[in-house]
Chain A
């Protein structure tokens, strides 16, 4: 493996050492910033709680994400099929992008109660718009010559969708899926702030008890879940799009 791949670890190590130094030398009080060793301690002391919470958050985020991927793809396809449907409903899809989720989360609790359903819906609301938008734009940007080709051979609308438009939109759809993967975890954490449980719940409780070490431990786990999501979708994308980009196997 190349040395350059490990370069990001250098600033990481510097920050860790600096944090440890600043807290130990009491330049920054440890109720504001925990030292890395304290965070590590929080990890080991509360490991059972933290991992359980991470599992809950991961599951909520995953279910919400699968929901938004399915629904977003479907809505993108429907919007792309007819101009008037897009004109009529797309503005409402933008609503999902602009709605301050933290403000409507209490409303969701009133409607769906405390716990997972509310958190999943939160995740879905936060992560659906990029998928709708990228699907719609991807399908709309289908090669016009190929649309003509399908017309010449009298392709039916569904043939055009599955053999041309959708595969053609795939690179763009994956852009949306990647953005949404990160958003899904954010949505789940925000949902948990209000509806309880998971890493969001732990952060909320630790905040009240002024346990910055626990907050940091939970935040690190939450971003780790986000990274796993994004890495997963990248893996799927690079497999699905493996024929898109030039490779030099046969070309002379």
Chain B
């Protein structure tokens, strides 16, 4: 399976393929290439084939289903699926099946999507390495995280869409490093009921896909009010019809400079400048700007994640601390023991950063803000730091500093492939929009995707290469 969601949907419609045949292919690839990459922790062969068969029957009888009907997809292993365990990448979690689907799983299934299995996550969705997952572009490198298995599963062509979560960048980081599209919608757009939290003030759910259109199909299926997640209440309708091909004529694009969007690896800076040039050529108005408050992104992000994650996992820390990775354990313990005043200060910093971004949108009259998704491409699995001209920086901090501003502000943000570095590794381009304005984000992403000169490239570890 190497096609995008729309191509597979067309094959189903024309009778060229059935959901059962697509699901069988995805399961075979997940068990073979997926196993080699470490992308999956669990395959639901029986459940997926049963649902595929039912979807085939429904499609044959003329039932109208959504754009994901009959399409095999994958689910990050922090999201509950009835009758399967949710282990969040942790030995400390029980191996017992959960009783019901998360709301987003129920919504995807109602649209006819077929979930073939659960993907590997960095432990507790709290990290960017996602061991043991390999990056399909270079197996000695990380896929990013924490939704690393979802990124690798999509990049390798096993499934055209997978679900991820994003607390400081965990959808956009693997999307950027694996060369796929990752969409973090507005805070509250997708229900988090039935999903293991990391930090409820910052957690978002969304799709990673092989195309912008695949992310649109995924988000349309998952979004909407849910009484079981109060953050979803009162959201405006999601209108993405025709957005991918709507173009950027007369849109105002704010290009972010200064900390935390610097320093950058030179290849990333070059790819980003080239992408901005293509948006300019496509008719957008380019506006250069900086938001000084964003220099405090990492302090605010970690000042919230630590205490919330520490509080949530306190019982596990007490009962099974030796089963938690020492680095994550140290984050949880520090978060639990830090004074409340520091958490309160970080929450206020979140609001101040949100307000600064809102003012930037208004004062510069821009429709979107853009930046490189990440300052560097995929790190080696044993790499701790990046070297920039200004000095060294830990890999985790480097990846999170450019993505986390849009967790703190809750604004929609997407990562779209925009080129490759000199080593052939993918570079991502980040586009963030106003609250609930996923439509404009997708419009710009559609142009970046369409004009990317490297758009047709697939990684060495891909189902097409394996057949």
The answer to whether A and B interact is no
Which B residues lie at the A interface, using CB under 8 A?
Answer: none
Which A residues lie at the B interface, using CB under 8 A?
Answer: none
